[in-house]
Chain A
């Protein structure tokens, strides 16, 4: 019972919450795996040891389907569904690796990278950085267009900061605040390029309804929300990107 809490593992991120359900058997890259009904394809792949790259998904939160990195091919289905929002079906055959998938993922990751401070790519160890490494993406074909590099860093909270320059707007922080903590202090304001994480009425974190539980920091895949204690000295903006 309560697998969504009790089935969590310290060293594995299944991508979507573990479920209680009758066993369903499917094939991931030719490997047979049995998971509870209600699980996602992403969960099944992680359980089979074939983890699918992802950014907006993590197993403490319900699937969201926004980052488009976790695309897969499913036999008998059109297109490239997101594995996080696709529930498992008995007998399903899933491919997580193909030349097309690699190309699609690269394209998406490069778009993310086009608005990420290039001086901060090397040496990073966030999930975003690890995903870039795993997919072999080091630079973006799209060059430097409009970006958020100069957005104000919110350092109002004594324990963590928010640097919008590194934010990929995956909503994990917003969802953690709602689903895990239950405070609903965070939201995404604006649309398209103007989309950004905002606390309460777009206030500094410290002045907002945020209760500083740390769930958003824990959920952030790109170190945009990060503990101040991991830095020596004052936190500054990234160096301007060199072209």
Chain B
């Protein structure tokens, strides 16, 4: 065999998968990408990588990639391929007609955390400046919106307080509702490195995840709580901190609002949150709650990392506040090795959050109702802007079902698959007159779309991503866009077709506009990032190369003090009963990414060809279910069929599945409850029952007969 062919050129760019945002070198030979290798100078990954970023990049070239714009008058018609200009004109005239008939607010837009900062910013500009309303939302609504709300109200900034490397100074690592070794693998490796060096590990998760126990990494305390009891368990940990006086009084007096601290102490210190009361409720040993509290408060450096297991609950925002309170009370903020850190799911969730893709705030979380902020945007954009907050995505869908909301521009999202209560979403989609979908592939949502803009993958465009540690890194164009335009160009041309004149020579100019309009990004530019590799916001005159650790001196609140929020535990309305005796919770697996649009088009599916239902042996035996059987999972909202896997990872009473495959339709069973503050759906708790299902032999896809990659479904 000859030697391997040597790449002749490489481009440094940023991985488009999870919130770690690894730096990669896209290596080329004769104009084709031949491999992706981790960049040793990448500040998020230091030369390491995972299966997704390193190997699963070939989806961009999948045969079913849409390469021409498509339009159709009705969702019952077949698609008609058209030129770009026809597609822009068609969508623009439909949108203008809808607004003329149903009013300015009958349209909205949704952007995605898979988009670059520049694209996210342009899509919200499209809604505000072109559609003339604030009906703009993004997919962080369904994952980390409670982070924004919960952290802003306690520590003042809805973002990770630390940089990833900070964990190497931590003595105690507390992981809550996250599974870094699967969901954020490169950060997971860093965490395990620190644990091998001797740091203690506390894991709060219903499931015995890979983070709980793997080679040379074992949790000192695993609180395997019943799904839905996060707030109770965190209040109970706080109870121990208060009753045993483990809090850092000096820090609280110097840095926090003392009166609120006293109020909080009175609440969590009350008898209803004793470990002995909460332990049985949450299904854990009270002694373990005490152990976890003492360990966390004892530090000396304790760091919290949390994920969607905290946010995707009806008390998601409260759960996040519990973590903020805990960090403040024990003084675990404002230096290396400590902090409260959300592990963001998608490559650019932090960017999606920062850049005003919300119905109520502009970039930097400044309210649309604020005259001064609005005026600065009006001056830059040259149009009057709506002062009334717009609709959130779930509200847009509700309004569509009700008949007042008639069209949507969706960039890089698949709400029919990823949003809760699928039946409701479909009803909303069917009720709209023009859905413009901008994506790489036809997907579940495209079945209800009228215009399809074929987008560009992250290998085909320029821009920036902001990772889970607030780090802004460059996405660089490696190859020409397969459908002709970079995504930012498509949005700009759509704006132009709608009659709004604007032009940019390159997305660096969009970042410049972001910098002019957003305090935390004031110092960001392509030039800065090209020079120093990446920079963490806030980046401005006082921190020209960015800020690694937040809250060193004060918290970004009006009075600079940390605030304690009252976090009373209110059980979710989603309860088990005789008919639905089990609790279903959901999660991710290493080889697949979210709804699988990218990874299912790569050989990664060899590791995870289908979503399976993990069930404890006790529950399985009671239902006559054997390992590998097909089971029907039914909830109050719908039913799905999955193959069962008997597993010790879940306790009796709890079942678990992933949501990577469209055909398993996990969201057809999830509830329509959502976070009280932000509408983030409660994906993590659904009461279900399981029965053995008999499937016709012909329909049972065995792993060995799974479609090969090249044959995989072309229209999902």
A contact residues vs B (CB 8 Å cutoff) = 1-2, 5-6, 8-10, 60, 120, 123-125, 129, 158-160, 163, 179-184, 206, 209, 211-215, 218, 223, 226-227, 229-232, 235-238
CA of A229 to CA of B192, assembled, Å: 30
Asked whether A60 and B168 contact (CB < 8 A) given A10-B39, A125-B6, the answer is: no
Closest 7 CB pairs of A and B: A158-B603, A182-B192, A230-B4, A214-B54, A184-B215, A159-B55, A5-B46
Residues of B within 8 A of A229 (CB): 34-35
Asked whether A183 and B215 contact (CB < 8 A) given A123-B2, A158-B606, A214-B54, the answer is: yes
B499-550 at interface with A (beta carbon < 8 Å): none
**Of listed B47, B168, B606, residue having the most chain A CB within 10 A:** B47
Residue contact B591 to A212, C-beta cutoff 8 Å: yes
CA of A8 to CA of B188, assembled, Å: 20
Q: Is B5 an interface residue (CB 8 A)?
A: yes
CB of B591, distance to nearest CB on chain A (Å) = 7
Asked whether A218 and B37 contact (CB < 8 A) given A182-B196, A182-B216, A213-B54, the answer is: yes
Residues of B within 8 A of A179 (CB): 193
Q: Is B496 an interface residue (CB 8 A)?
A: no
CA of A17 to CA of B638, assembled, Å: 55
Residues of B within 8 A of A163 (CB): 1
Q: Is B370 an interface residue (CB 8 A)?
A: no
CA of A238 to CA of B2, assembled, Å: 7
Residue contact A212 to B55, C-beta cutoff 8 Å: yes
Q: Is B48 an interface residue (CB 8 A)?
A: yes
Residue contact A2 to B165, C-beta cutoff 8 Å: yes
CA of A158 to CA of B709, assembled, Å: 11
Residues of B within 8 A of A160 (CB): 55
Residue contact A6 to B5, C-beta cutoff 8 Å: no
Residues of A within 8 A of B196 (CB): 182
Asked whether A10 and B1 contact (CB < 8 A) given A182-B196, A230-B34, the answer is: no
CB of A66, distance to nearest CB on chain B (Å) = 21
CA of A2 to CA of B44, assembled, Å: 13
B contact residues vs A (CB 8 Å cutoff) = 1-7, 25, 34-35, 37-41, 43, 46-51, 54-55, 165, 168-169, 185, 188-189, 192-193, 196, 214-217, 336, 590-591, 603, 606-607
CA of A129 to CA of B4, assembled, Å: 12
CA of A143 to CA of B620, assembled, Å: 63
CA of A167 to CA of B40, assembled, Å: 24
Residue contact B51 to A120, C-beta cutoff 8 Å: no
CA of A184 to CA of B196, assembled, Å: 12
CA of A213 to CA of B6, assembled, Å: 21
Residues of A within 8 A of B55 (CB): 158-160, 212, 214, 227
Residues of A within 8 A of B38 (CB): 214, 218
Asked whether A213 and B35 contact (CB < 8 A) given A6-B43, A6-B165, A125-B6, the answer is: no
CA of A180 to CA of B49, assembled, Å: 10
CA of A215 to CA of B185, assembled, Å: 12
Asked whether A227 and B185 contact (CB < 8 A) given A158-B606, A213-B49, A214-B51, the answer is: no
Residues of A within 8 A of B4 (CB): 125, 223, 226-227, 230-231
Residue contact A184 to B216, C-beta cutoff 8 Å: yes
CA of A124 to CA of B39, assembled, Å: 22
Residue contact B215 to A6, C-beta cutoff 8 Å: no
Asked whether A125 and B168 contact (CB < 8 A) given A8-B41, A9-B41, A218-B47, the answer is: no
Residues of A within 8 A of B37 (CB): 214, 218
CB of A11, distance to nearest CB on chain B (Å) = 9
CB of B559, distance to nearest CB on chain A (Å) = 32
Given A60-B46, A182-B216, output 5 extra A-B contacts at Cβ < 8 Å.
A10-B25, A212-B51, A214-B55, A218-B37, A223-B3
Asked whether A238 and B1 contact (CB < 8 A) given A182-B193, A230-B35, the answer is: yes
**Of listed B4, B5, B41, B196, residue having the most chain A CB within 10 A:** B4
8 contacts between A and B (CB under 8 A): A125-B3, A125-B4, A180-B189, A183-B214, A214-B38, A218-B37, A229-B35, A230-B34
CB of A214, distance to nearest CB on chain B (Å) = 4
Residue contact A213 to B1, C-beta cutoff 8 Å: no
* Minimal Cβ-Cβ distance residue in B for A58: B47
**Of listed A120, A231, A236, residue having the most chain B CB within 10 A:** A231
CB of A211, distance to nearest CB on chain B (Å) = 6
**Of listed A179, A209, A212, A238, residue having the most chain B CB within 10 A:** A212
* Minimal Cβ-Cβ distance residue in A for B606: A158
Residues of B within 8 A of A226 (CB): 4
CB of B317, distance to nearest CB on chain A (Å) = 33
Residue contact A8 to B185, C-beta cutoff 8 Å: no
CB of A208, distance to nearest CB on chain B (Å) = 12
Contact partner of B603 (CB less than 8 A), chosen from A6, A159, A180, is: A159
* Minimal Cβ-Cβ distance residue in A for B195: A182
CA of A179 to CA of B215, assembled, Å: 12
* Minimal Cβ-Cβ distance residue in B for A12: B40
CB of A62, distance to nearest CB on chain B (Å) = 12
Residue contact B35 to A232, C-beta cutoff 8 Å: no
**Of listed B41, B55, B336, residue having the most chain A CB within 10 A:** B55
CA of A123 to CA of B6, assembled, Å: 10
CB of A168, distance to nearest CB on chain B (Å) = 15
CB of B332, distance to nearest CB on chain A (Å) = 19
Residue contact A211 to B165, C-beta cutoff 8 Å: no
CB of B23, distance to nearest CB on chain A (Å) = 9
CA of A19 to CA of B606, assembled, Å: 40
Residue contact B41 to A10, C-beta cutoff 8 Å: yes
CA of A124 to CA of B2, assembled, Å: 9
Residue contact B193 to A211, C-beta cutoff 8 Å: no
* Minimal Cβ-Cβ distance residue in A for B43: A6
Residues of B within 8 A of A8 (CB): 40-41, 46-47
Residues of A within 8 A of B188 (CB): 182
Residues of A within 8 A of B603 (CB): 158-159
CB of A82, distance to nearest CB on chain B (Å) = 23
CB of A109, distance to nearest CB on chain B (Å) = 18
Residue contact B50 to A211, C-beta cutoff 8 Å: yes
Asked whether A215 and B5 contact (CB < 8 A) given A182-B189, A182-B217, the answer is: no
Residues of A within 8 A of B49 (CB): 213-215, 218
Asked whether A5 and B165 contact (CB < 8 A) given A158-B603, A182-B192, A229-B34, the answer is: yes
Residues of A within 8 A of B168 (CB): 2, 5
CA of A238 to CA of B169, assembled, Å: 48
Residues of B within 8 A of A211 (CB): 50-51, 185, 590
